[in-house]
Chain A
Amino acid sequence: MAENEPKILSFLCSWCSYGAADLAGVSRMEYPPNIRVIRIPCTGRMSPKFILAGLKQGADAVWVSG
């Protein structure tokens, strides 16, 4: 990732936001590449531990969407 760009870790619900991220691709939208997506089956799966682990791992922000 670029040095001065914040690193974003994101957890996307497979049913909605992950599909939306796919759609952004189909629509050829552009966004910065400093994001890493982990697909989860539902935001119900989301645990605070994942957010803490992400931050500890060096992510500047964690984005949960679903």
Chain B
Amino acid sequence: MIRGNSARWFWIFVGPFAAGLALFTYVPLLWSVWLSFFDAHNTVTPTHFVGFGNYTAMLRDDAFRSSLGTFLVFTLFIVPTTYVFSLSLALMVNRLKRARAFFRSVFFLPAACSYVVAALIWKMSLFSGVRFGLVNTVLGWVGGDPVAWLSTTSPPWYWLVVVTVRLWLQAGFYMILFLAGLQRIDPALYEAAAVDGARPGWTVLRHITLPQLRATSVAVLLLLVINAFQAFDEFYNLLSTASGYPPYARPPLVYLYYVALGQGQNLGLGSAGAVILAVIIAAVTLGQARWLRLGRGHADA
């Protein structure tokens, strides 16, 4: 279609975006990798080379290690939970004959809410540790004692708070993806199954719906894992107080935030931590993609 100076036209269209992406993604990344080999307190142009010192310091740091471990467990829990919950929502909403749009909107509405606002509602009202919190009020009606949801460490009730926030905010988003996937399934498949005598329910779900949703499932699982490892907003807003962040349920990013941008401003150490985290996320994502045997070009919506 476009002849002649096509390289010029290509760069007119793509150039501004590509230059910005290079400047604001590739440059910081390389710079950060470079910083991670230096003693960089409060400076972005350090001179004291420390080799892998920052990496060994981070990997030996108990707080960083325990935060990585905690988040591995968190991911193993939240990913299947959100997957099953949002898929169930989609399946139920999809079967509705009436009021489908209403239920879809209600479950999707939390997506308009920020993690900050959701954390605020959970911390200050729903799971407020004092008697006027809604959950504690309901507990009071059935004769229970109020629970300090966010500061009780045994049992670790704060996980209930964190997990419900995340489910409330994310389930609708993934439900939308599953609904789109369900809409793309050819109705003829269900008709054929009915002719073959398959009863609606588990058999059809297992042999038709789930295999047909494969591309959607792969995308949803990858997004869920990446998002779980990047948790920051709701943890920060639920658990940190005027005196800082408690030593439990600390996401890797919250820890890096305090290391790199807190009082010490240790950018070398923070960069090393970011590189370690990026490598872990990449490894988990690629491993998962392999495990799900991600095909090429099938997932296009």
Chains A and B belong together in one complex: no
- Report B's interface with A, CB cutoff 8 A: none
- Report A's interface with B, CB cutoff 8 A: none
